[in-house]
Chains A and B, each alone.
Chain A
């Protein structure tokens, strides 16, 4: 078989294309232009060129055909349209708007996040250290694009720590999935990739102050190093994660509350504080200090004088809750449960959510008519609760002569703006609610944190919490379910088939 010059040229042209493609694949896979790669590309190019030169006439002939011209026109048009669509999609991707149809606005960033992120003026880099292929990464990427929509200064990048070990080391990455917020030299680690944690990390990365929480010790208080269910180690861990400095202070060995303390916490003193200590705390508060006092029933804190200055009445009693609601979740009458809250940012958004106080005493506003300091009763038990002077041998009875009936107040927040600077105080008649055992129950932990955040005036940290879907049920009886199954799986499809058969018969 004899090949003509033209056919040979065409064959060479095809071979040239194949060689060019192989050279390109070799180059992209090895990322270096080595000798075999050069050979492939050059030979391919020469062969292709030879084809064009040798077979020039038929090429010209092809392109001068009417269909080729029209084809070329169409080709150009298609390329132009695709380019416009790509551009449109790029614009649509960069400037998009979302409409969240869910009731709880599950897929919209919270107002808190907006308030924090929108005013940022410096570049904030957020790195997620993870394998780009992990399914969670996409979710975070989507969420971060919502952040970037809020503010152009937010930059997000996924970093594979195995590919960039130096960067992972720089930011102290120990495991996959860690998220770091970097604002200049200030680096913050987000604990998880929930909106709550990311926004908190951003807030901390852009904030310049560090608050210090000092836990008093020396009178049998809950210890921040105690990891047993009765301890406060969980509280301390969470505070540290929230960028608070946490320390224990013993006032016996000092002559004043350390000025470095942004907040002092007295978590369930078992024994009375010394008068000097009470005086130090009073003075600290007069100077614009902030304090959180958790006072368990059956103890005397020795803080009575302080309480009366602040218009707070701490009852010498135990609160008994016989509403029976607690029984649903396995708690008894000794654990009052609160679902009604006062008008304070500390308990904002708590409505219809529970907080528990295992063994609590009443803490209420002593004189409601007094305007200063501004006091708010935070926690209200149900009407089916009452006080008893002591728990006796386990059986308690309501004595209308001495005991108070619910609703009872279990906590008070007070604010005194008359001093040099704004002094704040929160008193709650129980310390157990924030122990390791109870901290994660319902809103107990939030109550503690919101109190601390309110005291340190970091209120914008309050209430950024993961959104939960609305609790909804579909109430169908068994009969309705069965009918629905029959209708959807059998009757309706059969009707369609019968219709088809009817038409078919009719047409025959």
Chain B
């Protein structure tokens, strides 16, 4: 546990003493702000148009503004997370390998699992910190809803976003552990995420393979969360990716010991 905490602290301080974290968080927050105000304005506009139309047609149209904003906003933030996670993870092993500090870590009394988990949870924490303002916006939005909107949708949606980010980070950590070159690691994580994202467009049809590929599409499992549905399939899916990412990273780190032998 001490080893894990040491690595975690080292990683966190590494994020926050370098300008990298600040720039990533800054960009993320600017985008979050823009998307949030934009989503709110768009949905409000839509609701007003619908209300006007329904008055003319003699029908009432139901528009659930807070839920729609939550869905549009977090849907977009999901894509931002896809673009940003490669930047959070590209260096976590590549940089150490390049600078040779990985050797030091390997010879320290810290276990491989402590290294991998420490680094993973540090990147996850940074993601969580980045998401805090978004959570605040959502609570602000739901607080101004009339009639009151179900608060439970907010933790549900953010759980989805967090799991999505968690899966991408675990995968990113693994890609980073494979290479010394940060650019190579960033591009490969991004490429893999993009493929996972768009998989269901490529995989069509009824066949078992097509269905398996459709199942593997990340977006499909993320969508229900932001719509207000927690599906255990999604939990198993993201949980598996996270586990697989960490497990593979662990194997690569472990292999660093014996590959030289």
Complex Cα–Cα for A77 and B33 (A)? 45
Say yes or no: A441 contacts B40, CB within 8 Å: no
> A468 to chain B: which residues have CB within 8 Å?
62
Given A96-B232, A472-B149, A496 and B156 contact (CB-CB distance below 8 Å): no
Is A442 on the interface with B (CB-CB < 8 A)? yes
> A102 to chain B: which residues have CB within 8 Å?
67, 150, 153, 227-229
**In chain A, residues 327-386, which have Cβ atoms closer than 8 Å to a Cβ of chain B?**
328-331, 353-354
Complex Cα–Cα for A441 and B230 (A)? 35
Binary per-residue interface labels of chain B (205-242) against chain A in the complex, 1 for a CB within 8 Å, 0 otherwise? 11000100011000010001001111111011100100
Complex Cα–Cα for A44 and B150 (A)? 63
Say yes or no: A472 contacts B66, CB within 8 Å: yes
Interface-forming stretch among A16-24, A81-89, A316-324? A81-89
Say yes or no: B150 contacts A101, CB within 8 Å: yes
Is A107 on the interface with B (CB-CB < 8 A)? yes
Interface-forming stretch among A407-415, A424-432, A485-493? A485-493
Complex Cα–Cα for A98 and B133 (A)? 28
> B36 to chain A: which residues have CB within 8 Å?
488
Complex Cα–Cα for A97 and B230 (A)? 8
Given A92-B232, A96-B232, A471 and B64 contact (CB-CB distance below 8 Å): yes
Is B83 on the interface with A (CB-CB < 8 A)? no
Given A441-B58, A507-B17, A98 and B229 contact (CB-CB distance below 8 Å): yes
**In chain A, residues 293-335, which have Cβ atoms closer than 8 Å to a Cβ of chain B?**
328-331
Partner of A475, one of B26, B146, B232: B146
Is A103 on the interface with B (CB-CB < 8 A)? yes
Is A497 on the interface with B (CB-CB < 8 A)? yes
Say yes or no: B58 contacts A106, CB within 8 Å: no
Binary per-residue interface labels of chain A (130-142) against chain B in the complex, 1 for a CB within 8 Å, 0 otherwise? 0011000010000
> B152 to chain A: which residues have CB within 8 Å?
101
Binary per-residue interface labels of chain B (44-74) against chain A in the complex, 1 for a CB within 8 Å, 0 otherwise? 1001000000011011111111110100000
> A488 to chain B: which residues have CB within 8 Å?
29, 32-33, 36-37, 133, 137
Is A500 on the interface with B (CB-CB < 8 A)? yes
> A81 to chain B: which residues have CB within 8 Å?
244, 247
Say yes or no: B236 contacts A92, CB within 8 Å: yes
Given A133-B204, A472-B67, A492 and B133 contact (CB-CB distance below 8 Å): yes
Given A70-B255, A102-B150, A441-B59, A107 and B64 contact (CB-CB distance below 8 Å): no
Given A67-B259, A488-B137, A471 and B33 contact (CB-CB distance below 8 Å): no
Is A61 on the interface with B (CB-CB < 8 A)? no
Complex Cα–Cα for A92 and B232 (A)? 7
- Least CB distance from A435 to B in Å reads 15
Partner of B258, one of A66, A471, A473, A507: A66
Say yes or no: B58 contacts A442, CB within 8 Å: yes
Complex Cα–Cα for A328 and B56 (A)? 9
Complex Cα–Cα for A81 and B144 (A)? 47
Closest to A133 in B: B204
Complex Cα–Cα for A80 and B232 (A)? 23
Closest to A330 in B: B58
Closest to A91 in B: B236
> B32 to chain A: which residues have CB within 8 Å?
488
Say yes or no: B232 contacts A469, CB within 8 Å: no
Say yes or no: B228 contacts A107, CB within 8 Å: yes
Is B97 on the interface with A (CB-CB < 8 A)? no
Partner of B19, one of A157, A473, A504: A504
Is B16 on the interface with A (CB-CB < 8 A)? yes
Given A472-B66, A493-B33, A99 and B230 contact (CB-CB distance below 8 Å): yes
Binary per-residue interface labels of chain A (53-79) against chain B in the complex, 1 for a CB within 8 Å, 0 otherwise? 000000000000011001100100110
> A103 to chain B: which residues have CB within 8 Å?
149-150
Say yes or no: B64 contacts A469, CB within 8 Å: yes
Say yes or no: A499 contacts B240, CB within 8 Å: no
Complex Cα–Cα for A500 and B229 (A)? 38
> A70 to chain B: which residues have CB within 8 Å?
255, 258
> A331 to chain B: which residues have CB within 8 Å?
58
Partner of A472, one of B146, B200, B220: B146
Partner of A474, one of B144, B233, B244: B144
Binary per-residue interface labels of chain B (2-31) against chain A in the complex, 1 for a CB within 8 Å, 0 otherwise? 000000000000001101011101100110
Complex Cα–Cα for A506 and B60 (A)? 60
Complex Cα–Cα for A469 and B259 (A)? 58
- Least CB distance from B216 to A in Å reads 9
Is B105 on the interface with A (CB-CB < 8 A)? no
> B156 to chain A: which residues have CB within 8 Å?
99, 101
> B215 to chain A: which residues have CB within 8 Å?
89, 93
Say yes or no: A74 contacts B64, CB within 8 Å: no
Partner of B251, one of A78, A497, A504: A78
Given A89-B215, A101-B229, A469 and B204 contact (CB-CB distance below 8 Å): no
Partner of B63, one of A469, A485, A487: A469
- Least CB distance from A328 to B in Å reads 7
Is B248 on the interface with A (CB-CB < 8 A)? yes
Is A255 on the interface with B (CB-CB < 8 A)? no
Is A33 on the interface with B (CB-CB < 8 A)? no
Is B103 on the interface with A (CB-CB < 8 A)? no
Binary per-residue interface labels of chain A (94-120) against chain B in the complex, 1 for a CB within 8 Å, 0 otherwise? 001111111100110000000000000
Specify which of B26, B137, B152 lies most central, judged by the most chain A CB atoms within 10 Å of its CB: B26
23 A–B pairs (Cβ distance < 8 Å), ordered by A: A67-B258, A85-B240, A89-B237, A92-B233, A98-B232, A99-B156, A100-B229, A101-B230, A106-B228, A107-B228, A107-B229, A132-B205, A132-B206, A158-B206, A471-B61, A471-B64, A473-B47, A484-B137, A493-B26, A496-B22, A496-B26, A497-B23, A500-B19
Which 5 pairs across A and B sit closest by C-beta, in order of nearness?
A: A500-B22, A92-B236, A488-B33, A489-B33, A329-B58
B residues sitting closer than 8 Å to A (CB atoms) are 16-17, 19, 21-23, 25-26, 29-30, 32-34, 36-37, 40-41, 44, 47, 55-56, 58-67, 69, 133, 137, 140-141, 144-147, 149-150, 152-153, 156, 200, 204-206, 210, 214-215, 220, 224, 227-233, 235-237, 240, 243-244, 247-248, 251, 254-255, 258-259, 261
